[in-house]
Amino acid sequence: MVNYQGHRILAQSIIPGILNNSELSSLAEYGTVDEQQTIQSNEQFHGMMKEVCEKMNIQVNKLLDGEGKEVELAGCVEVKGIRGTDKRCYIVDVQGMTPRDANFLGEEYHTCLVRQELLVLYQRHLQMEHAKSKMGAFDKELEAELKEKEPKVEEGKEATEEQVKALTELKQKLSVKKIEHIDHLMKEVPAVVFNTNVFKKAKLAMSAEEIKAEEKKVESLAEFIKAT
């Protein structure tokens, strides 16, 4: 992956043997090369792609082929798994491995995809919002602890060096407790797993309600991007 002057380019090596074979379908072992008329599945490719999807918070989907048969694929409908003449596995057409930007729908905007960095920021945003909503009571506990444990300075006198040091250490300790509690609250928020095949021509083996729920997650992501 190459970022250059605001553009992102996905580069890959030439698959051994592909230049000598004009029929891509004979080399593909995973995914579809004919707009879902046939969908290939392969345990080795599927296992590798499931690991990728887990790290990227992308759903594993069931798609329908031309005969209405359900086939499970990990990632976007565009992805293809090809075995080169060197017997190694190659994944191509991974540009759709992030959701579409729902701010730009329609076939003319089919290349408007959300960058992976924005998925991370969105998840972070949800975690922080959750933590903020839960911090009120804990902040009051910290304030009470500070008031209880802070060194008492006699009226009319300045704090001693020891008292200043003790107060500084107490505040640092409470700050660490606050950070640790925020981290704990943020971990309570489950990761949002996106379906990268909604708002596409993909034939999903899902009910209309299920598809609508997945679209809603992508729309919420788009709203966050627009607001940010």
Q: Does a structural domain hold residue 15?
A: yes
Instruction: State how far the Cα of 219 lies from the Cα of 198, in Å rounded to an integer.
Output: 10
pLDDT above 70 (res 22): no
Residues 99 and 154 in one domain: no
Tokens of 204: 């999903």
Q: Do residues 79 and 178 share a domain?
A: no
148 and 38 assigned to the same domain = no
Say if 188 falls within a structural domain.
no
**Burial track 151-174 (b if 16+ CB lie within 10 A, e otherwise):** eeeeeeeeeeeeeeeebeeeeeeb
Are 27 and 108 in a shared domain? Answer: yes
Which tokens sit at 175?
């700050």
Distance CA 28, CA 82 (A): 4
Q: Are residues 200 and 113 in the same domain?
A: yes
Residues 70 and 173 in one domain: no
143-150 own/partner pairs: CB under 8 Å, 24+ apart = 145/174, 146/170, 146/171, 146/174
pLDDT at 33 over 90: no
| 58, 111: one domain | yes
Residue written as token pair 């004979």 = 26
Do 48 and 113 share a domain, yes or no?
Answer: yes
Q: Which domain holds residue 178?
A: 135-183
What pLDDT, on a 0 to 100 scale, did the predictor assign at position 25?
66
Name the average pLDDT for the chain: 91
Are 109 and 151 found together in one domain?
no
Rounded Cα distance, 198 and 127, in Å: 24
Residue 23 has pLDDT above 70, yes or no: no
Residue 126 located in a structural domain: no
Measured between alpha carbons, how far is 3 from 97 in angstroms, rounded to an integer? 17
202 and 98 inside one domain: yes
Look at 61 and 12; give whichever has higher pLDDT: 61
Task: Check: CB of residue 74 under 8 Å from CB of residue 97.
Answer: no
Count: domains in the chain: 2
Residue-wise pLDDT tens digits, 154-176: 877 888 889 899 999 999 999 99
Quick: pLDDT tens for 82-103. Answer: 988 888 999 988 889 999 999 9
Query: Is residue 130 one of the residues assigned to a domain?
Result: no
Rounded distance between C-alpha atoms, residue 227 and residue 45, angstroms:
38
Which of 60-69, 132-141, 146-155 bottoms out in mean pLDDT, i.e. has the lowest? 146-155
Exposed/middle/buried for residue 42 (C-beta within 10 Å: 0-12, 13-18, 19+): middle
